[in-house]
Chain A
Amino acid sequence: GDSVTQMEGPVTLSEEACLTINCTYTATGYPSLFWYVQYPGEGLQLLLKATKADDKGSNKGFEATYRKETTSFHLEKGSVQVSDSAVYFCALSDRNTGKLIFGQGTTLQVKP
């Protein structure tokens, strides 16, 4: 079945460091891809998405490009802030059902 694999955390960075969180997927067909973020004690918020190959999603300085050839959707940010500390989830969506399949989540901790 469809699946999503994320790099294991926690990831600990200093403020202004570069971030990459790897995400690869296995799917039949052409799913939409998402990054959700979960701040402590809160629900999941959509961070960005891409719906077809080579699309780049971006929001709040984060970017991810839908790479069909490598089945990847890595999350990147050039300069992280303490406020970016959260759990990040990569997910794919079955286009017909809308069901989301999540990776296991990657905890990011940014230190001042």
Chain B
Amino acid sequence: DAGVIQSPRHEVTEMGQEVTLRCKPISGHNSLFWYRQTMMRGLELLIYFNNNVPIDDSGMPEDRFSAKMPNASFSTLKIQPSEPRDSAVYFCASSMALAGGSQETQYFGPGTRLLVL
């Protein structure tokens, strides 16, 4: 399997622009997680989906952030409008939720390095 795929790997944009990050989870996985990594705050969970349904978005910082998962093989994280403080590395991860609710190991993508000028 190719693993979790993220695009773009690098994004440089100007303040106020819309940014869309993309993720393709590992085939067969039914849970998907979006994280943000910064030097100041470390790794933060933004949102996660189970069977394409958002389960917990309490980590989404503001209304400027939104995430969708239209099908089992694709998810987007959108920032509109972007601000310099959004500069970070954004990771997508996927896992398999088992019967009874327990989760298997999360596998991470390579990340998208976002710089907002």
Chain A residues at the B interface, C-beta cutoff of 8 Å:
34, 36, 42-46, 49, 89, 93-100, 102, 104-105
Distance A105 CA – B89 CA, assembled complex (angstroms):
15
Closest chain A CB from B11 CB (angstroms): 15
Nearest-neighbor residue (CB-CB) of B45 within chain A: A99
Nearest-neighbor residue (CB-CB) of A36 within chain B: B108
Report the 3 A-B pairs with minimum CB-CB distance, sorted nearest first: A98-B103, A43-B108, A44-B108
B101 lies within 8 A of A100 (CB): no
B91 lies within 8 A of A44 (CB): yes
Distance A94 CA – B106 CA, assembled complex (angstroms):
12
Given contacts A43-B91, A44-B91, contact A99 B43 (CB under 8 A): no
> Is B110's CB within 8 Å of the partner chain A?
yes
**CB under 8 Å from chain A, chain B span 44-84:** 45, 48, 55-56
Does more than half of chain B's interface fall in helix, strand or loop, or is it mixed?
strand
Closest chain B CB from A11 CB (angstroms): 17
- Max count, chain A CB within 10 A of own CB: residue among B45, B91, B103: B103
Closest chain A CB from B98 CB (angstroms): 9
B103 lies within 8 A of A43 (CB): no
**CB under 8 Å from chain A, chain B span 95-113:** 95, 97, 101-111
Distance A77 CA – B33 CA, assembled complex (angstroms):
30
- B residues less than 8 Å from A43 (CB atoms): 4, 91, 108-111
B48 lies within 8 A of A99 (CB): yes
B102 lies within 8 A of A96 (CB): yes
Given contacts A44-B91, A97-B56, contact A104 B42 (CB under 8 A): yes
B43 lies within 8 A of A95 (CB): no
- Max count, chain B CB within 10 A of own CB: residue among A49, A89, A102: A102
Distance A45 CA – B55 CA, assembled complex (angstroms):
24
Distance A45 CA – B48 CA, assembled complex (angstroms):
19
Distance A85 CA – B38 CA, assembled complex (angstroms):
20
A34 lies within 8 A of B43 (CB): no
A100 lies within 8 A of B106 (CB): yes
